[in-house]
Amino acid sequence: MKKFNKVIGIFSIVLSILIVSCIYPKKWNINTLKPAIEEMLIITTVGEVAYDIPNGGQTEIPTISINIEAAAIPLKDNYILALTHCTELPKELPTFFFMVPVKVIKPAEFSIIVGGESVALKLIGRFEDISLFKSPVDIKPYPVEFSSTFDYEPGTEVLSIGFSFALVKNIKDGVISNLNPNDVIEYTEYTFMHSIPTNSGDSGTPILVQDIFGDYKIIGIIQSGFHGVEGIGFALRSDYIVKVIELIKFIYGFRSTGIVYMGD
């Protein structure tokens, strides 16, 4: 009987180890992350603007060429997701002393690189800070699916695959800090806070988490941080992102022409 109990005890320990290893997978397995890293896109926005100031017709106001690169996520059916504030021409530009409004001279054009070739994109619609584009050529959808942000709690480890300061793709990690910052901070509706160091070039990059099976899920997209402050960043919740994407598609499907503009 004692021998039987000893066997049962050893079996229980082994089973517990296996269960724990499944529930808490190894942190950030780089091999399983490779597809997520490789399929990230950069969307390029180009156009021309000029300072919107009166000059009495005495001199011609020179145009300013704009070239913006930002992170983008390929979706199913050749759709591409990016943030509005990363893919629109500026409304004002700095001078020596202050910001000056600008007017659009040449409308924005958008493109990505597919197979080493530049591919022009069509802007389908925008809703606040979410923009949806369409590619005329087939692109691989992102290998990581969206999952509800609220399936996870503060303290959950997360990572991002971004382009800090327009450098090569890089990985950074942190934790979920707060799921409802809007309760205490204005203008943060539909976002959550995280501790991933957020720099220029990170906006639009996905925030990933590992579920209990070790699979990666997108729970948000980095939107902003505080200039000069590390460890405080904001990301749009995945639940909100998915709803907006479907809303833009739905409205565009009925209109079939033109661009869907909603919100601000």
**How do residues 67-106 score in pLDDT, each as one tens digit?**
999 999 999 999 999 999 999 999 988 877 788 888 999 9
More confident residue, 66 or 254: 66
Intrachain domains 38-142 and 144-241 with the same fold:
yes
pLDDT tens string 18-66:
343 444 444 666 777 888 888 889 999 999 998 887 765 555 678 899 9
CATH fold group of domain 38-142: Thrombin, subunit H (2.40.10)
User: In the chain, where are the structural domains located?
Assistant: 38-142, 144-241
Q: DSSP 3-state assignment of 175?
A: strand
Alpha helices in the chain (DSSP H): 2-23, 30-38, 84-87, 238-255
Contact criterion met (CB below 8 Å) for 105 and 63 = yes
Q: Is the pLDDT of residue 136 over 60?
A: yes
Distance, CA of 67 to CA of 72 (rounded, Å) = 15
Residue 167: what pLDDT? 62
Q: Rounded mean pLDDT of the chain?
A: 80
Residue 127, strand partner residues: 130, 262
Distance, CA of 222 to CA of 158 (rounded, Å) = 12
Highest-confidence segment of 50-59, 86-95, 134-143, 209-218? 134-143
CATH of 144-241, one of 3.40.309.10, 3.60.40.10, 2.40.50.140, 2.40.10.10: 2.40.10.10
pLDDT tens string 148-189:
999 999 999 999 987 777 667 778 889 998 888 766 555 567
Distance, CA of 180 to CA of 193 (rounded, Å) = 8
Residue 176, strand partner residues: 194
Least confident interval from 121-125, 180-184, 192-196: 180-184
Q: How many helices (H) and strands (E) does the chain have?
A: 4, 15
